[in-house]
Amino acid sequence: MPDDKKAQYAFVHAAVWADDIKDPAHGYTKDDDTPTGQNIGYADKNMHRYWHFKDISFSTDGTQFSDADPINAVSQMKLFVAALPASAATDDVRPFLLLSAL
């Protein structure tokens, strides 16, 4: 790879990291629950699909919806950002949280 393309390649590769964790081909497994407090860093191989969205129900005709799951991209972002400076977060977990928050 030419030197002038290395930074671009690194950026594009990092940009799709969150999508990579959805793919079983990368060694990740489907999680049926939303296991809160499982921020164990790169050793965590659950897909955490709920980290990638926030459901917001709406209706044009007044249809009632059940409450959306309170664990979503926004709740996880707040958790990750709060944990970054925490003394309890290990050096193994901090970069994982930072990448997850991006």
**Mean pLDDT score, 62-82:** 83
Q: Is the pLDDT score of 91 beyond 90? A: no
Q: Residue 29: phi, psi to the nearest 5?
A: -115, 155
Q: Residue 50 and residue 1: Cα distance in Å, rounded?
A: 36
pLDDT cut 90: percent of the chain above it:
10
* pTM to 2 decimal places: 0.49
pLDDT of residue 6: 92
Nearest to 99 by CA among 34, 29, 39: 39
Instruction: DSSP letter for 31, please.
Output: -
